[in-house]
Structure formats: structure tokens, C-alpha cells
Amino acid sequence: MQWQYRADHPATALDTDGDTVYVAYNSGVLIALDANDGSVRWHTELKVDGAPTTALSLAVAPQGHLLIGPSTAGSWSARLDRDPESEAFVLRSSHAS
């Protein structure tokens, strides 16, 4: 084992692109860890319409996208996009009935 990361909450979903390990927790936190050493690259709290939510699925997609399947009423999906200029991440959501 190269490294391990301990958290206060159980993980609900994870995926990797080879460089970064993305982990969602039942607390609503989404964290990105460096795959080489386990250091935290960034973290955020997931919210839908201002209310905390928990991701039940994550999938790394092409072009720097992270697809998120949260546990909320109705059908909702999100995509985490990397802004190429600032390297920041932007959460984009879509609702369906």
C-alpha cells in the first residue's frame, strides 16, 4: 500500500482518472486526492438548491469532467468542470422531472 487517507465519514462513491482519486462521503463532502501520495488537492461540499446532498455515484468523464449522481428527490445530475484558465472547478447541475 502506497498511502491511505482516513476520514470521519463513510465513503459513498469513488473514482479515479489515474492522477486524482475522487471520493464522496455521506456528509456531502467531495474530495480530490493526489493518486501518488494521497495529499488533498481540493474539497467541496455538494449542495442542490442550497441544501446539502450526498453523491451516491461518481464517474470520471473526458475533458476534465466529473459526473455526480446525488441522492435527492426527483432526477438530478451534476458535472464538475475544470475551468482551464483558473484551474478552479465549477459544479453544473441539471434537473429532470
What 3-state class would DSSP assign to 58?
A: strand
Q: What is the pLDDT of residues 9-50, one digit of tens each?
A: 999 999 999 999 999 999 989 999 999 999 999 988 887 777
- Distance between the two ends of the chain, CA-based, in angstroms? 44
Distance between CA atoms of residues 96 and 50, nearest Å = 17
User: Rounded to whole angstroms, how far apart are CA atoms 66 and 89?
Assistant: 10
State pTM to two decimals. Answer: 0.76
Residue 37 gets which letter from DSSP? T
Q: Three cell numbers at 14? A: 469513488
In angstroms, how far is CA 62 from the centroid of its own chain?
Answer: 15
